[in-house]
A and B are shown apart, each in its own frame.
Chain A
Amino acid sequence: MSGFTAFARKEAREILGTWRIGVLPGIVLFFAVTGPVLAELTPQLLGTLAADQFEGLALPTPTFQGSYGQWIKNLSGIVVFALIIVYGGVVSAERKSGTAVLVLTKPVSRTAFVLAKAVVHSAFLPVLVILGTLVTWGLTAVIFGQSPGSTLWSASFAWLVLGVLFVALMMLLSVLLGSAAGAAGAGLGAYVLVSVAAIWEPLGTYSPAALTKVPSALLAGDDVAVLWPVATSLALAFALFALAALVFRRSEL
């Protein structure tokens, strides 16, 4: 077994054996379960609790689109924030605790250290998204009686690319900044910037910034260009992982 494989296996076991299994999957599954239920119950709850205020206003009938909308809205908001916070210490926590020193004095290069983390966590995210989407899809079918798959899956996969991009960004920030909180703060700032950048049409069409609005547009059935933002996001993610490895190689422990 090579140093890369052994370290990647440790990363995977760490996801399963520590709090990370509770945080991100917990959040994703919570929203996957509550999205369809809330989509069904929200109009009824509003009607019951504030009937006198909405007198004369026809509340919309709950549909599967509402359920899908909840899922994508939560992915694009709270799940991104959770991902940024969880991955803020992906490298810096190992430096701080001294585990990086023990590993990097063995036959594991700094590049292998960063890339093993990149591979494992970029593979972990699709598992979460597929699991969450399956739950949303199934519950929507049960509650609403219909749940067409193509728009839901294409919107989820478009978000997944954005998620991988943020894993890559957090990897770099965690290498650059010594503190997990500092990296998380910078990551949240970057997310705000990307969301604002999407307002300008060229960036909102071709750049990774477009992926902050593409999932919702796909759900709505809008004709949006997906290939460009996906391609530029994946290219940027690779570049960020490579930059993280390069910076880590040059840093002192």
Chain B
Amino acid sequence: MSAAIRTTGLTKVYGDERALDSVDLHVEEGSVFGFLGPNGAGKTTTLHILAGLARPTSGSASVLGRDVATADNAVREQIGFLPDVPGFYEWMRAEEFLRFVGDLFGIARPVLDARVEMLLDVAGLGGVDTKIGGYSRGMKQRLGVAQALINAPRLLLLDEPTSALDPMGRKQVLDMLMSLRGHTTVFFSTHILADVERVCDTVAILDQGRVVAQAPIDELKARYGQQKVVVEVIGGADEFAEQVKRQSWAAAVSREGVDTIEITVTDMSAAQRQIPAMIAAAELGLSRMDAGEMGLEEVFVDLVSGGRS
């Protein structure tokens, strides 16, 4: 499958600060790609370079097969972009603004009429007659998403699209992003992990300007996510924890409460067989035993904090 976005050794330096450090990205056409990272990791810088608003210090970036340095109106016609804090002409109304953006794309009147009506509806701004200057941050964010879709883009670049939204607004935007899968490549930055887990096929994690991981979500969790068993025993938890630490399948053991032990395991089936046997042999009571994988959040925290330790 061809790449909608490809960066190779992408580096951006502002003065003494290295905002991006040799970033390699490959975003397949038609995918929903989550670009994760803590604040200040370099997500906005990357999006600005991809949108042609900033130039790389070194390395290269291409969108839809064209180098961003030479991308012209023909490329911009196929891209929708939402900045982290979208700026609007506050004297306009939502419909006027969408029509203005549609005119910038040269969209024919009947098509534009239909799209404006549909997008105002999706953004929950149909029938809102106040000027944009009077909108809340959430309303502006929804209008920002709507304007990014006015040209039915082949590539949608979104910088923190859900950060200012309430739970209902977030759900609407995420549902809309999921509905675009297959037709439009969606590349969105965020630090809200639940959003990524919900809608993305693939994710890249950026920390301090470097990509620390990039893979389909399931693969990422399988690669970096360790499996855990949480055991709650009745009596003798300290002795049991010491006994578990000596097992070859126990990578780490920690206490979550007086009777609860969290075990990071390297061999889940061995742990599931031996833990009940060990409890029975020690003549302890077993009130709970849960087994599961680390979530994306734990993978993220592990990767990002790991890079800082």
A-side residues, CB < 8 A to B, are 1-3, 5-7, 9-10, 14, 17-18, 94, 97-109, 252-253
B-side residues, CB < 8 A to A, are 48, 51-55, 72-74, 76-77, 79, 81, 83, 85-89, 91, 100-101, 103-106, 147, 151
B87 touches A107 (CB 8 A): no
Given contacts A98-B83, A107-B73, A107-B106, whether A18 and B53 have CB atoms under 8 Å apart is: no
Bound CA span A14–B147, Å: 19
Given contacts A6-B104, A98-B83, A101-B83, whether A252 and B53 have CB atoms under 8 Å apart is: yes
Given contacts A104-B53, A109-B73, whether A1 and B88 have CB atoms under 8 Å apart is: no
CB distance from B20 to the nearest CB of A (A): 14
A106 touches B86 (CB 8 A): no
B104 touches A103 (CB 8 A): yes
B89 touches A14 (CB 8 A): yes
A10 touches B87 (CB 8 A): no
Given contacts A3-B73, A252-B55, whether A99 and B87 have CB atoms under 8 Å apart is: yes
The 9 closest A-B pairs by CB, nearest first: A98-B87, A6-B103, A107-B73, A105-B81, A106-B104, A253-B53, A97-B87, A99-B87, A252-B54
Question: What are the residues of chain A within 8 A of B147 when measuring CB–CB?
Answer: 102
Tell me the interface secondary structure of chain A in the complex: helix
20 CB contacts below 8 A, A to B, read A1-B103, A1-B106, A2-B106, A3-B73, A10-B89, A10-B100, A98-B87, A99-B87, A99-B89, A101-B83, A104-B53, A105-B51, A105-B81, A106-B76, A107-B73, A107-B105, A107-B106, A108-B73, A109-B73, A252-B54
Bound CA span A102–B146, Å: 12
A107 touches B77 (CB 8 A): yes
B91 touches A18 (CB 8 A): yes
A6 touches B53 (CB 8 A): no
Question: What are the residues of chain B within 8 A of A101 when measuring CB–CB?
Answer: 53, 83, 87
Minimum CB distance partner of B150 in chain A = A106
Question: What are the residues of chain B within 8 A of A104 when measuring CB–CB?
Answer: 52-53
Question: What are the residues of chain B within 8 A of A17 when measuring CB–CB?
Answer: 91
